[in-house]
Amino acid sequence: MLSKSQARTFFLGGTIVSFAVFLGLSWHSLSTEVPKQTNEDKLTPQVVRGKHLWESNNCMGCHTILGEGAYYAPELTRVIDRRGDAYVKTVLTSKVPWSPRGRKMVAYAFPEDQANDLVAFFQWINEVDLNGFPPKPKYKVTLNNDTK
């Protein structure tokens, strides 16, 4: 059984050690892991302009990116992998409101340069290392050799 002063010393010592470990791991993550995983070195002025367009047009009001935003419209973190940049650019430059599956997308009719900026932003997001998230779906392949 610990005395009152021993318990206090044990508690304070454990708190200080835990806090030091927390600070060390935070420093390690912020100084080495985060820049490596986010491709900070590949940030270009075009990507930054695309991010500003994303924010100024309130795209997060409907879409989600990196887990942030609304869930009305599709998640766009890996949209370049799923659809390709030509498809994304076509949607962004469309002058006609677009409504796949009953959900209406505003016809922003972005000019070519702004659409290119947004595509560059999506390409940069596409390359962010999310530690395997979202996982790629595993499709069950069935071979049916019975042709009756």
| pLDDT of 147 strictly over 70 | no
| pLDDT of 126 strictly over 60 | yes
Query: Per-residue pLDDT averaged across 104-125, rounded?
Result: 93
- Name the residue ranges covered by the structural domains of the chain: 1-38, 42-135
| pLDDT of 34 strictly over 80 | no
Q: How confident is the model at residue 111 (pLDDT cuts 50, 70, 90)?
A: very high
Which of 8-22, 57-71, 75-89 shows the highest mean pLDDT? Answer: 8-22
Q: Tell me the pLDDT tens digit for each residue of 35-50.
A: 677 777 888 999 999 9
| pLDDT of 70 strictly over 80 | yes
DSSP the chain: ---HHHHHHHHHHHHHHHHHHHHHHHHHIIIIIHHHHHTGGG--HHHHHHHHHHHHTTGGGT-EETTEE-SSS-B-TTHHHHH-HHHHHHHHH-SS-B-GGG--B------HHHHHHHHHHHHHHHTS--TT-SPPP-PPP-------
97 vs 111 pLDDT, higher one: 111
Mean pLDDT of the chain: 87
pLDDT in the model for residue 100? 73
Q: How confident is the model at residue 59 (pLDDT cuts 50, 70, 90)?
A: very high
CB 93 within 8 A of CB 110: yes
The first and second tokens of residue 124, run together, are: 């940069």
Question: What CATH class does 42-135 carry?
Answer: mainly alpha
The first and second tokens of residue 109, run together, are: 């009719």
Q: How confident is the model at residue 145 (pLDDT cuts 50, 70, 90)?
A: low
Q: How confident is the model at residue 56 (pLDDT cuts 50, 70, 90)?
A: very high
146 vs 106 pLDDT, higher one: 106
